[in-house]
């Protein structure tokens, strides 16, 4: 094993990079603690801000937002019974009842420490697994690269709520949007309708900010005008929860493993990880009747799993270039903006940066542990920020952030169009994550597909057969793609999203009774 | 009309349009791989298939259960607020293009909170505070060139 991969990045962690990492963690806690703002939205809005930073500072800042927001959803879940991020939905079941008993500080403490341990476990897995997966992926042919990217999009379509066909439609529309501009092989202009601005293609960061930033605000504005007027529970002595963690080691370890595995499945994400871990805990707990009524093991299971997801999602991103969830899909955009293509080549071309990511991600888990334990009561006050002011500020940031990417107002127009498209998609119940993933991976997919087409001289099926009979990796990928596309036909219900929401509903009903 | 019939029809329409429009692309080369239209045409073909599949699925599901799925309704006046905010955002882009960022941001950050239910006094304070904050963060700290608008450039 080459241990230099775990130390080579230290020289990139200068004062600027570390400062932006801290800023990222603080922003992440803010984004996560405020219901209605998600890690996806936070990362997509703040990507343009990282344009002038070094790649290390930029990526660490975004990772700080990602990991800390995943954790901070537990703050509002505990204090106002509303998960700050969707992945904290299971935390509300036990953290809020605990807060009602006057133990808000204890609940936040358990959530913070469990999140941090889950996150650290996932970083270790990331650091150990990703070099091996990348080594295998480096041997992939054009056909296999195409299949990996296509599998990523189809599994995201499968896991998104609603019909898989709609997820696939969103994905294929995204692939079509990625065709806009110069053809990557022959430089023929396509689908530009005479616009010179579109020759370089649709700016995917503007599309992301539109689909995830502007759309989310439109949906927030539509739902309510109200600001939280709850009486907040007093948060004290979060740090004393360290003693209690000893009795929860088993829960945290088991849930962290679940989190890492679920996180590595493209499209799954923290919400599903926490639901699976919570359900598993309920199944094996000695006192299952206590879960949902303020049990520390419920909080520990949900929180360690949803934070362990970050490392799982980053494993597939760094080793295969395939994101594990919506946030890492958006993060591909940040890598590309800084001239880095996420995937196996990073382990040769950007060796130091990969190492800095491992070290930085471990530091981030420690940072939010400290901020969370000692600053939760201050972050909780953010819940009083009036919604109209928050929404206005975010929209202004979306617009100027999009402009800042290339100092071009056309991109702001693109953002508006995608904001409206995202809103329409949401109303028509068509999932957005497959579309953004397809826009990002579209060019890579087309390049590999056309390269393969050119090698085979158009004889696709013979070459697939030849490749599959010579290479087991092709067979595995073909089976994975086939299973993802065919499995839903034989299933009456979707395994993940719908069963998950039914599970949450059942738990909430139990809690009420 | 069921939402998914609309989704299916729109998908078929987009696929058909791309299939026809892509025939106008220059060829780029003689082999299949060099034909710039091949890939978009393939995607368009798949979209048409998926659009038809969605419509058929919806039709079959509709036959099985005649009770419409409950729809979550937005808060009162919700859609009007979205339309107003979307309009204000479009105005923000247009005014930035014409008169530059600062006047556009001042106007947007005053109007948007008003639409969302705050008082004029709060809206005015928000407008000034947000403009100063964004100006300092983006244009001073991150040194991004400020848009002055075509009227003042």
In chain A, the N- to C-terminal Cα span, in Å, equals 54
Q: Tell me the chain A residues in contact with residue B27 when contact means C-beta distances shorter than 8 Å.
A: 188
Verify whether the Cβ–Cβ distance A169 to B101 is below 8 Å.
no
In chain B, the residue whose alpha carbon lies closest to the alpha carbon of A411 is B93
pLDDT of residue A417: 95
List for chain B the helix, strand, coil content (%; round to 5).
70, 0, 30
Closest Cα in chain B, distance from residue A173 (Å): 8
Q: Tell me the chain B residues in contact with residue A434 when contact means C-beta distances shorter than 8 Å.
A: none
CB atoms closer than 10 angstroms to residue A199 = 13
Q: Which of A149, A157, A169 to mutate to test the interface with B (most CBs of B within 10 A)?
A: A169
Closest Cα in chain B, distance from residue A241 (Å): 38
Q: Tell me the chain B residues in contact with residue A423 when contact means C-beta distances shorter than 8 Å.
A: 82, 86
In chain A, the residue whose alpha carbon lies closest to the alpha carbon of B102 is A400
Q: Tell me the chain A residues in contact with residue B132 when contact means C-beta distances shorter than 8 Å.
A: none
pLDDT of residue A269: 73
In angstroms, rounded to a whole number, what is the distance separating the alpha carbons of residues A294 and A152?
37
Whether the pLDDT of residue B19 is over 70: the answer is yes
pLDDT of residue A135: 86
Verify whether the Cβ–Cβ distance A388 to B113 is below 8 Å.
yes
CA atoms within 13 A on the CB side of A45: 27
**Residue matched to tokens 């491992």:** A358
Q: Select from A234, A14, A248 the least CA-distant residue to A116.
A: A248
Verify whether the Cβ–Cβ distance B113 to A392 is below 8 Å.
yes
B-contacting residues in A 446-475 (Cβ below 8 Å): 446, 449-451, 453-454, 457-458
Query: Whole-prediction pTM value?
Result: 0.81
pLDDT of residue A498: 47
Verify whether the Cβ–Cβ distance B50 to A179 is below 8 Å.
no
pLDDT of residue B73: 54
Verify whether the Cβ–Cβ distance A183 to B86 is below 8 Å.
no
CA atoms within 13 A on the CB side of A265: 21
pLDDT of residue A9: 85
In chain B, the N- to C-terminal Cα span, in Å, equals 50
Closest Cα in chain A, distance from residue B63 (Å): 16
Q: Domain locations in chain B?
A: 2-64, 78-152
Q: Select from A363, A456, A500 the least CA-distant residue to A20.
A: A363
Verify whether the Cβ–Cβ distance A190 to B37 is below 8 Å.
yes
Verify whether the Cβ–Cβ distance A169 to B29 is below 8 Å.
no
If phi > 0 it is left, if psi is from -120 to 50 it is alpha, else beta; for residue A491 that is beta
CB atoms closer than 10 angstroms to residue A193 = 8
Q: CB of A287 within 8 Å of any CB in chain B?
A: no
Whether the pLDDT of residue B144 is over 70: the answer is yes
In angstroms, rounded to a whole number, what is the distance separating the alpha carbons of residues A513 and B16?
53
Verify whether the Cβ–Cβ distance B147 to A407 is below 8 Å.
yes
pLDDT of residue A510: 61
The average confidence (pLDDT) of chain B is: 85
Q: Select from A259, A199, A245, A214 the least CA-distant residue to A410.
A: A199
Which whole-number Å values give the CA distances from A342 to A175, A321, B2, B100, in the listed order? 19, 5, 41, 36
On whether the CB atoms of residues B96 and A364 are closer than 8 A, the answer is no
Which of the two residues, B28 and B48, has the higher pLDDT score?
A: B48
Q: Which of B33, B34, B133 to mutate to test the interface with A (most CBs of A within 10 A)?
A: B33
Query: How many angstroms from the chain centroid is the CA of residue A304?
Result: 16
Which of the two residues, B137 and A364, has the higher pLDDT score?
A: A364
In angstroms, rounded to a whole number, what is the distance separating the alpha carbons of residues B7 and B58?
10
pLDDT of residue A152: 78
Closest Cα in chain A, distance from residue B21 (Å): 8
Least CB-CB distance to A188: which of B25, B134, B145? B25
On whether the CB atoms of residues A450 and B39 are closer than 8 A, the answer is yes
Q: Tell me the chain A residues in contact with residue B43 when contact means C-beta distances shorter than 8 Å.
A: 172, 175-176, 179
Q: Which two tokens stand for residue A192?
A: 């530009």
In angstroms, rounded to a whole number, what is the distance separating the alpha carbons of residues A89 and A270?
10
Q: Which of B22, B89, B113 to mutate to test the interface with A (most CBs of A within 10 A)?
A: B89
- Per-residue pLDDT tens, chain A, 513 aa: give them: 577 888 888 888 999 999 999 999 999 999 888 877 788 888 888 888 888 889 999 999 999 999 999 899 898 888 877 788 878 888 988 988 888 888 888 889 999 999 999 999 999 999 999 988 888 888 888 888 888 888 878 877 776 667 788 989 999 999 999 999 988 888 888 988 888 889 988 988 889 889 888 998 898 888 765 555 555 666 666 656 677 788 888 999 999 999 998 888 766 678 888 888 888 888 888 888 888 888 899 999 999 999 999 998 899 889 888 887 778 888 888 898 888 988 888 888 888 999 999 999 999 999 999 998 888 878 877 777 888 888 898 899 888 888 887 888 899 999 999 999 999 999 998 988 889 888 888 888 888 888 887 877 767 777 777 777 777 888 888 888 888 887 766 655 554 444 555 666 666 566 555
Q: CB of A486 within 8 Å of any CB in chain B?
A: no
Q: Select from A14, A31, A90, A48 the least CA-distant residue to A368.
A: A31
Q: Which two tokens stand for residue A104?
A: 């808000």
Least CB-CB distance to A175: which of B37, B43, B122? B43
Q: Select from A77, A17, A61 the least CA-distant residue to A331.
A: A61
Verify whether the Cβ–Cβ distance B144 to A52 is below 8 Å.
yes
Which of the two residues, B90 and A286, has the higher pLDDT score?
A: B90
């Amino acid at each position: 094993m080459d241990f230099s991969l775990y130390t080579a990045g230290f020289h990139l962690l200068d004062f600027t990079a570390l400062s932006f990492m801290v800023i990222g963690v603080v922003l992440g806690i803010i984004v996560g603690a405020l219901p209605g703002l998600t890690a996806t939205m936070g990362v997509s809005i703040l990507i343009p801000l990282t344009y002038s930073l070094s790649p290390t500072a930029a990526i660490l800042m975004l990772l700080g937002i990602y990991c800390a927001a995943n954790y901070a959803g537990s703050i509002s879940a505990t204090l106002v019974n509303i998960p700050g991020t969707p992945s904290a939905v299971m935390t509300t079941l036990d953290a809020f009842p605990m807060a009602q008993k006057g133990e808000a500080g204890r609940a936040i403490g358990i959530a913070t420490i469990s999140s941090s341990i889950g996150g650290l476990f996932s970083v270790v897995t990331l650091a150990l697994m990703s070099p091996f997966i990348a080594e295998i992926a480096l041997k992939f042919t054009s056909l296999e690269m195409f299949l990996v990217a296509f599998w990523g999009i189809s599994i995201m379509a499968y896991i998104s709520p609603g019909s898989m066909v709609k997820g696939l439609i969103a994905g294929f529309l995204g692939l079509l949007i990625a065709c806009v501009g110069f053809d990557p092989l022959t430089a023929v202009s396509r689908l530009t309708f005479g616009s010179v601005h579109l020759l370089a293609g649709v700016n995917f960061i503007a599309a992301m900010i539109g689909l995830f930033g502007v759309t989310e605000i439109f949906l927030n504005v539509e739902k309510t005008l109200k600001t939280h007027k709850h009486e907040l529970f007093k948060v004290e002595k979060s740090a004393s929860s360290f003693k209690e963690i000893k009795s929860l080691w088993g829960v945290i370890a088991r849930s962290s493993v679940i989190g890492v595995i679920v996180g590595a499945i493209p499209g799954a994400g923290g919400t599903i990880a926490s639901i699976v871990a919570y359900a598993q805990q309920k199944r094996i707990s000695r006192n299952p009747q206590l879960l949902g009524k303020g049990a520390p093991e419920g909080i520990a299971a949900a929180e360690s799993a949803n934070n362990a997801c970050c490392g799982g999602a980053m494993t597939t991103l760094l080793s295969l270039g395939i994101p594990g969830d919506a946030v890492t899909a958006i993060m591909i955009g940040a890598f590309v903006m800084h001239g880095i293509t996420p995937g196996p080549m990073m382990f040769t071309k950007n060796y130091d940066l990969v190492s800095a990511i491992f070290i930085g991600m471990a530091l981030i888990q420690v940072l939010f542990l400290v901020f969370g334990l000692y600053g939760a009561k201050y972050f909780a006050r953010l819940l009083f920020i009036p919604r109209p002011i928050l929404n206005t500020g975010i929209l202004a940031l979306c617009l100027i952030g999009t402009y800042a990417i290339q100092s071009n107002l056309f991109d702001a127009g693109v953002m508006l169009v995608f904001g409206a498209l995202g809103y329409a998609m949401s109303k028509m119940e068509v999932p957005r994550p497959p579309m953004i993933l397809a826009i990002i991976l579209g060019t890579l997919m087309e390049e590999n597909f056309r390269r393969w087409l050119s090698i085979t001289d158009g004889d696709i099926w013979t070459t697939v057969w030849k490749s599959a009979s010579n290479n087991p990796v092709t067979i595995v990928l073909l089976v994975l793609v086939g299973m993802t596309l065919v499995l839903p036909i034989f299933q009456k219900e979707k395994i993940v999203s719908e069963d998950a929401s039914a599970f949450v509903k059942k738990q909430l009903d139990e809690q009420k009774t | 009309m069921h939402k998914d019939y609309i989704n299916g029809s729109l998908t078929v329409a987009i696929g058909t349009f791309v299939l026809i429009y892509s025939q106008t692309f220059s060829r780029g080369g003689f082999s299949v791989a060099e034909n710039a239209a091949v890939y978009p045409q393939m995607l368009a073909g798949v979209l048409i298939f998926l659009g038809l599949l969605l419509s058929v699925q919806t039709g079959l599901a509709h036959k099985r259960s005649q009770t419409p799925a409950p729809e979550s309704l937005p808060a009162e006046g919700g859609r009007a607020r979205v339309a107003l905010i979307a309009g204000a955002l479009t105005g923000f882009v247009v005014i930035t293009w014409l008169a530059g960022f600062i006047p556009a941001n001042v106007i947007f950050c005053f109007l948007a909170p008003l639409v969302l239910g705050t008082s004029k006094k709060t809206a005015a304070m928000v407008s000034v505070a947000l403009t100063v904050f964004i100006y300092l963060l983006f244009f001073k700290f991150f040194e991004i060139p400020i848009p002055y608008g075509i009227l003042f450039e």
